[in-house]
């Protein structure tokens, strides 16, 4: 457990972010290795099949993020207020809900895989492989939900290092299994999917063992779980808007993929390859968002709104610097990055254009996620949901569809940064109203002001009121 209510804000946020970032680097490294193996060993049709399936898999991940978001925020706020009884009941309630949610998601996913792929206009030449991949992935949802619920609990308590260790082991196992199943056993795209499911199962089991060997409040048990209706309703109030937002993002990705699918296998393969690089590029912002969310929740629980403002500025500076460096590297090496996945000239050309157009706006994306993290940490997930709806469905999809008719695939890519820019402007305007400060579940009395020390704030991070 990590107390984030005292100490230099920037350093605390970065130290909390770093383990999650390293973990995601390992996880996305697997995704890259997997795509490289699939694209090189099986071919661009298999790479396109994985890409056609990804929006549906992302929808699944979005459901998990939404389902765990409210619980994680409540755990952080109760922990910041030192209310361990409610921390325990929140954890129990999360376990019960996520178990039944995973069963429902499995049933729906297995039944709806083919209709969804057809709705997305998946080309017939890649349909069998995409369907095989999806059905195997849906069979392992329980373990994916289980691992993410354990990670959410630990992050809510300020521990971002332990999930990292599980993730590193899982990622290494995943890569080894892909090499064995795809290159050794020649199982094709099914081997890639089974490797992922087995690795996720291993990370979940490791999490269960860890929880049962540490603090009693974290014990993962099947008997004696207590479902708290009041806590569940509070979690829904926070997590449901976040869940709807994530689902809308996933649905938007599916709508975007439908536009891309209309340009054929080359475009789908290029979009898949560029998307793998894109995920690497935006990871720091997403992890900083999770970190600033926990930081905000704990400090609001402790009545330290001054630290929330300082933490926001520190996170913006960190994410901005990383984003600019990432943009430069991707623009310089865009051709080589796409060529790792497939050597087809058409695939490389389309993918490189994506990286050139979208890569120039990563700093805008990072600003969106940092601001969203603060708002969610305060318990205000409704406004980020509305901003997502507007920027995605009112701007990105219509603009991409319209420009695609005039500019081809380049037009699809331009819709992405245009929507990001609109989203950042809307979130900034709302943050400045200050209304988000009234959304916290915990109303802790504000302590006497503590003047910041030069070592903590001014000399080291030089932060000021936003």
Average pLDDT for residues 368-372, to the nearest whole number? 92
Lowest mean pLDDT among 17-26, 171-180, 319-328: 17-26
The pLDDT score that the predictor gives to residue 442 is 57
- Residue 184 in any domain: the answer is yes
Position 419 pLDDT exceeds 90: yes
Average pLDDT of 438-455?
A: 51
Supply the pLDDT for residue 352: 95
| 453 confidence band (pLDDT: 50, 70, 90) | very low
Q: What is the mean pLDDT of the chain?
A: 83
Domain assignment present for residue 4? The answer is: no
pLDDT of residue 276: 83
419: number of Cβ within 10 Å: 26
Relative orientation angle of helices 362-377 and 305-339, to the nearest 10 degrees: 140
The answer to whether residue 441 scores a pLDDT higher than 70 is no
Q: Is residue 214 part of a domain?
A: yes
Determine the pLDDT at residue 448. Answer: 45
What is the SS3 assignment for 262? Answer: coil
With a cut of 70, say whether residue 286 has pLDDT above it. yes
**pLDDT for 97 beyond 60:** yes
**Structural domain that includes position 206:** 9-458
Taking only the tens place, the pLDDT of each residue in 41-50 is 888 888 888 8
| Residue 384 host element (H or E) | helix 382-389
Residue-wise pLDDT for 341-355, tens only, equals 888 899 999 999 999
Nearest of 85, 68, 359 to residue 239 by alpha carbon: 68
Rounded Cα distance between 151 and 163, Å, is 6
In the block, residue with structure tokens 């892909």:
178
The verdict on residue 2 lying in a domain is: no
Predicted pLDDT of residue 328? 94
d(CA 38, CA 28): 15
Residue-wise pLDDT for 147-168, tens only, equals: 878 887 887 777 777 887 887 8
Distance from C-alpha of 218 to C-alpha of 226, rounded to nearest angstrom: 13
pLDDT digits (tens, 9 = 90+) for 173-223: 988 998 999 889 989 889 989 998 999 899 888 888 888 787 666 776 767
Inform me whether the pLDDT recorded for 332 exceeds 90.
yes
The answer, yes or no, to whether residue 423 has pLDDT greater than 90, is yes
Percent of the chain with pLDDT over 90: 25
In angstroms, rounded to a whole number, what is the distance separating the alpha carbons of residues 260 and 264?
7
- What pLDDT was estimated at residue 464? 31
d(CA 243, CA 241): 5
Q: What angle do CA 463, 372, 286 make, to 5 degrees?
A: 90
Of 392, 368, 371, 367, nearest to 380 by C-alpha is 371
pLDDT at res. 283: 84
Which pLDDT band holds residue 405 (cuts at 50, 70, 90)?
Answer: very high
Query: How far is 303 from 205, CA to CA, in rounded Å?
Result: 37
Tell me the H-state helices in 81-183: 84-119, 127-139, 141-156, 161-178
Q: How far apart are CA 79 and CA 4, in angstroms?
A: 10
Tell me if 121 sits within 8 A of 260, measured CB to CB. no
Q: Does some domain include residue 463?
A: no
Residue 464 resides in a domain: no
**Of 196, 67, 95, nearest in space to 137 by CA:** 196
Based on its alpha-carbon atoms, the radius of gyration of the chain, rounded to whole angstroms, reads: 22
pTM over 0.85: no
Number of Cα atoms under 13 Å in the Cβ half of residue 441: 32
Which H or E run contains 363?
helix 362-377
Kindly state whether residue 465 falls inside one of the protein's structural domains.
no
Does residue 36 form part of some domain? yes
Cβ count within 10 A of residue 5? 20
Residue 412's pLDDT is: 95
Q: Check whether 459 has a pLDDT greater than 60.
A: no
Count of domains forming the chain = 1
- pLDDT of 87 > 50? The answer is yes
pLDDT over threshold 60, residue 451: no
Window from 72-76, 158-162, 386-390 with minimum mean pLDDT: 158-162
Tell whether the model's pLDDT for residue 456 goes beyond 50.
no
How does DSSP assign 4-70, residue by residue? -SSS-HHHHHHHHHHHHHHHHHHHHHHHHHHHHHIIIII-HHHHHHHHHHHHHHHHHHHHHHHHHHH
Lowest-confidence region among 30-39, 305-314, 369-378, 425-434: 30-39
Confidence of residue 242 (pLDDT cuts 50, 70, 90): low
Say how far apart CA 394 and CA 295 lie, in whole Å: 32
Mean pLDDT value of segment 249-264: 85
In this predicted structure, the answer to whether residue 438 has a pLDDT above a threshold of 80 is: no
């Amino acid at each position: 457990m990590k107390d984030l209510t005292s100490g230099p804000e920037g350093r605390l946020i970065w130290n909390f972010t770093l383990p999650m970032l390293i973990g995601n680097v390992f996880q996305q490294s697997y995704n890259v290795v997997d795509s490289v193996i699939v694209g090189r060993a099986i071919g661009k049709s298999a790479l396109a099949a994985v890409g056609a399936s990804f929006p549906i898999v992302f929808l699944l991940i979005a459901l998990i993020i939404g389902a765990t978001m409210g619980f994680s925020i409540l755990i952080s706020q109760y922990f910041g207020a030192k209310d361990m009884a409610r921390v325990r009941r929140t954890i129990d309630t999360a376990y019960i809900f996520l178990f039944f949610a995973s069963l429902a998601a499995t049933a729906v996913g297995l039944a709806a895989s083919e209709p969804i792929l057809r709705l997305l206009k998946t080309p017939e030449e890649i349909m069998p492989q995409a369907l095989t991949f999806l059905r195997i992935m849906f069979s392992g949802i329980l373990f994916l939900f289980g691992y993410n619920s354990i990670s959410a609990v630990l992050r809510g308590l300020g521990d971002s290092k332990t999930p990292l260790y599980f993730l590193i082991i899982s990622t290494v196992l995943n890569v080894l299994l892909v090499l064995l199943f795809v290159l050794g056993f020649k199982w094709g795209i099914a081997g890639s999917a089974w490797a992922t499911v087995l690795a996720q199962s291993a990370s979940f089991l490791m999490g269960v063992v860890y929880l049962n060997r540490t603090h009693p409040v974290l014990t993962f048990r099947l008997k004696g779980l207590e479902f708290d209706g009041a806590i569940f309703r509070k979690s829904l109030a926070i997590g449901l808007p976040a869940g709807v937002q994530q689902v809308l993002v996933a649905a938007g990705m599916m709508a975007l993929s439908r536009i891309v699918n209309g340009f054929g296998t080359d475009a789908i393969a290029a979009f898949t390859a560029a998307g793998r690089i894109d995920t690497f590029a935006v990871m720091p912002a997403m992890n900083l968002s999770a970190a600033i969310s926990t930081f905000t929740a704990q400090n609001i629980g402790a009545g330290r709104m001054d630290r929330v403002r300082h933490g926001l500025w520190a996170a913006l500076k960190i994410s901005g610097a990383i984003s600019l460096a990432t943009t430069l590297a991707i623009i310089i090496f865009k051709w080589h990055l796409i060529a790792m996945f497939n050597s087809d000239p058409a695939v490389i050309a389309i993918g490189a254009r994506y990286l050139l157009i979208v890569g120039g706006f990563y700093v805008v994306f990072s600003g969106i996620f940092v601001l969203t993290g603060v708002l969610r940490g305060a318990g205000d997930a409704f406004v980020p949901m509305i901003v997502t709806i507007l920027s995605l469905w009112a701007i990105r999809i219509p603009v991409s569809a319209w420009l695609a008719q005039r500019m081809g695939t380049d037009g699809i890519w331009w819709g992405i940064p245009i929507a990001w820019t609109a989203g950042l402007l809307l979130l900034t305007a709302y943050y400045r109203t200050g209304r988000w400060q009234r959304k916290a579940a915990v109303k802790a009395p504000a302590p006497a002001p503590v003047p910041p020390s030069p070592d903590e704030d001014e000399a080291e991070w030089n932060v000021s009121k936003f």
